[in-house]
Amino acid sequence: QVQLQESGPGLVKPSETLSLTCVVSGGSIRSYYWTWIRQPPGKALEWIGYMHYTGNTNFNPSLKSRVTISVDTSKSRFSLELSSVTAADTAVYYCAAYFDFWNGSLGYWGQGTLVTVSA
């Protein structure tokens, strides 16, 4: 059973870069497509993007210019960087993995980590 755990700063200043890491256990980092999803307080889920260890990626067009996702196979973890953040980027950030990439089903989720953008 794949288990995911996010970590990173809970507070980021406006205009800076948000950086989060997700550690993978119970499954191979090479076997899944890894994704990030966020949820502003009291609002809906928003898909950020995914990466496969082969380098295959796709991003939400509304965030594409500010997002970087990377996969570290040696440490069985993947990361998210979101640059030039504003208050609108305040959200709970979830790392997740597709149960089956080809049908878009996200079957494995981390517990989520709240990131607040504030000076």
Partner 1 sequence: QSALTQPASVSGSPGQSITISCAGTSSDVGGSNSVSWYQQHPDKAPKLIIYEVLSRPSGVSNRFSGSKSGNTASLTISGLQAEDEADYYCSSYVSGTTYVVFGGGTKMTVL
Question: What does the binding site for partner 1 look like in residue numbers (CB under 8 A)?
Answer: 35, 44-47, 50, 58, 60-61, 94, 99-107, 109-112
Query: Helix, strand or coil for residue 23?
Result: strand
User: In terms of CB distance, is 26 or 74 closer to partner 1?
Assistant: 26
User: In sequence order, what are the residues at sequence separation of 6 or more whose Cβ sits closer than 8 angstroms to the Cβ of residue 74?
Assistant: none
User: In terms of CB distance, is 86 or 105 closer to partner 1?
Assistant: 105
Q: What is the DSSP letter of 103?
A: G
User: In terms of CB distance, is 12 or 106 closer to partner 1?
Assistant: 106
CA distance 100 to 80: 21
Q: Among 115, 100, 102, 103, which residue's Cα sits nearest to residue 37? A: 115
Q: How far is the CB of 94 from partner 1 (least distance, A)?
A: 6
User: In terms of CB distance, is 17 or 111 closer to partner 1?
Assistant: 111
Q: How far is the CB of 76 from partner 1 (least distance, A)?
A: 20
Place of tokens 């997002």: 67
Q: How far is the CB of 110 from partner 1 (least distance, A)?
A: 7
